[in-house]
Structure 1
Amino acid sequence: MTPVLSVANIRRSLGAHAALDDVSLDVAEGEVVAVIGPSGSGKSTLVRCVHQLEPIDSGAMYLDGELLGHERDGATLRPLPPRRVAGQRRRMGMVFQQFQLFPHWTVLRNITEAQVRVHGLGREQARERAMELLGKVGLTEKADAHPRQLSGGQQQRVAIARALATRPRIMLLDEPTSALDPELVDEVLTVVRDLAAAGMTMVIVTHEIAFAREVADRYVFMDRGRVVEQGPVGGVLGDGTSDRLRAFLSRYTSQLTASRGAQTDA
């Protein structure tokens, strides 16, 4: 079966620094992949490249078997025009570290505008879809509020609803809780848990290791721009399989202990 997302040997350099160095990754239908690793390991760059917010220097990426960002002309790859790149991007939902909501628009308009202007949906259809999604993220009553009237956790939940509004094939989440106060993290993670339970295909860049262990099917551990190892989560994120992963996970001992205890109690 063709993966929803396939990343093949991509490279991305920033000057002399290799942000991504020969990275390959397949994501199957309904799979949740957690991308973990230290700061500067290339995690965020990976999802930004997949969403075509940053260019790759070599390699290839495919969404449902369709080459992203380029088309083949014989043996040559030719960049797609911006209009076609935008069309590919619309098939992926992206949730950023910062919420990226338009401050002068209401919550409802933040969710409906792209549906109407980009996807050609009628205003009433777009509104119905938005209200359905606000219900799923527990914010129906905030439809007429502006982002400044919401907490950080509420803003991020609106951002998730906006990303879901176009019915994406895959969701890309780039550290969705990193900008939140600790007491607001759980409300966003609950929404992501619900998406995973509903079968949404997702790539989640996260430093919430206990959460990754709970919700992901597979982990990808990156360091210095490379995929060091990957595999089914299982019990692996409790112990690690290589010295480098064990050293990284040792910082999160309390998270993982708490996660194990919660699973045992359940």
Structure 2
Amino acid sequence: MTTGPVLSVRNIRRSFGEHAALDGVSLDVAEGEVVAVIGPSGSGKSTLVRCVHQLEPIDSGAMYLDGDLLGYEHSGAGLRPLRPRQVAEQRRRMGMVFQQFQLFPHWTVERNISEAQVRVHGRSQEQARERTLELLAKVGLTEKAAAYSRQLSGGQQQRVAIARALATRPRIMLLDEPTSALDPELVDEVLTVIRDLAAAGLTMIIVTHEIAFALEVADRFVFMDRGRVVEQGPVADVLGDGTSDRLRSFLSRYTQQRDTAREARFRV
């Protein structure tokens, strides 16, 4: 660990054909900070966290976790890509929660959370089970340890996925639209877990369209559009008088939806 940021992203670029998904993105995330990444669909939000987790390669730029260069190592005067095993070792220091839950359907909840602890991190079965039950209690699913994913609601499956990502005590959690695959009535149970993690001081990047939730839990907003960071800063600053026209336009849709929902409640 270093005294600098937990995560540092420097001028990264990622293109798919002629489409620049990330066009020179830079970002620092401090210890214990919760950063909410917002923006319209196709703005590069998910690509950003996928690149940080090294699920997508970057075309240029650099990323550092606790000062360690991600994905590459110095070789003479240049850089060379890390071997897959080295990349996997770096990835273990980060937790990733996807839009889809990606649980193994033929494993129980307990095994979904404990398997990597045993096979990858070398913990004993007893240690892994103890950590797994601790995490299931944290996400409110102690009674589901022996269940299979088909026996769980979408919200419960996502809470298991969060517990799995936490199992290795990651330096940073990356959450990519963690509620987007859920029915509306199941969203709150997942947001409650994330809210508790934020209150506990876990370092997180949350890609989300849940603006009200992001306002509540985030220390800082990063607003992306067309592969670039258009605006970022503390929540109060981003939503203040200095907000750019582009961000105001984006947020106006949220305020209109919020006001419409309030009016509907008053009419009932």
Is the TM-score greater than 0.5? yes
For residue 89 of structure 2, give the secondary structure of its aligned residue in structure 1: helix
Give yes or no for the alignment of 1:153 onto 2:151.
no
Question: Residue 264 of structure 2 aligns with which residue?
Answer: none
Give yes or no for the alignment of 1:168 onto 2:174.
no
| Alpha-carbon distance in structure 1 between the residues aligned to 2:40 and 2:120 | 37
Give yes or no for the alignment of 1:246 onto 2:248.
yes
- Amino acid in the other structure paired with 1:128: E
| Alpha-carbon distance in structure 2 between the residues aligned to 1:148 and 1:237 | 41
Q: Cα deviations across residues 206-234 of structure 1 (Å, max 9, x unaligned)? A: 00001111000000000000000100012
For residue 33 of structure 1, give the secondary structure of its aligned residue in structure 2: strand
Would you say how many aligned residue pairs link Structure 1 and Structure 2?
260
- Amino acid in the other structure paired with 1:39: S
Measured after TM superposition, the shift of residue 107 of structure 1 is: 0.2
Question: Residue 9 of structure 2 aligns with which residue?
Answer: 7
Measured after TM superposition, the shift of residue 256 of structure 1 is: 5.6
Please tell me whether the aligned partners of residues 232 and 238 of structure 2 are also in contact (alpha carbons under 8 angstroms).
no
For residue 181 of structure 2, give the secondary structure of its aligned residue in structure 1: coil
Measured after TM superposition, the shift of residue 246 of structure 1 is: 0.6
Question: Residue 262 of structure 1 aligns with which residue?
Answer: none
Question: CA RMSD, aligned part only?
Answer: 1.7
Pairing partner for 1:122 from 115, 121, 124? 124
Question: Residue 194 of structure 1 aligns with which residue?
Answer: 196
Q: Which runs of 4+ in 1 moved over 4 A?
A: 254-259
| Alpha-carbon distance in structure 1 between the residues aligned to 2:257 and 2:32 | 26
TM score, norm. by length of structure 2: 0.94
Question: Residue 135 of structure 1 aligns with which residue?
Answer: 137
For residue 234 of structure 1, give the secondary structure of its aligned residue in structure 2: helix
Please tell me whether the aligned partners of residues 238 and 256 of structure 1 are also in contact (alpha carbons under 8 angstroms).
no
Please tell me whether the aligned partners of residues 210 and 255 of structure 1 are also in contact (alpha carbons under 8 angstroms).
no
For residue 231 of structure 2, give the secondary structure of its aligned residue in structure 1: strand
Please tell me whether the aligned partners of residues 231 and 238 of structure 2 are also in contact (alpha carbons under 8 angstroms).
no
Alignment gaps of 5+ in structure 1: 260-266
| Alpha-carbon distance in structure 1 between the residues aligned to 2:9 and 2:208 | 19
Please show how residues 1-266 of structure 1 align to structure 2 within 5 Å. 1-234=3-236, 236-237=238-239, 241-254=243-256
Measured after TM superposition, the shift of residue 73 of structure 1 is: 1.5
Measured after TM superposition, the shift of residue 83 of structure 1 is: 0.4
| Alpha-carbon distance in structure 2 between the residues aligned to 1:112 and 1:206 | 28
For residue 236 of structure 2, give the secondary structure of its aligned residue in structure 1: coil
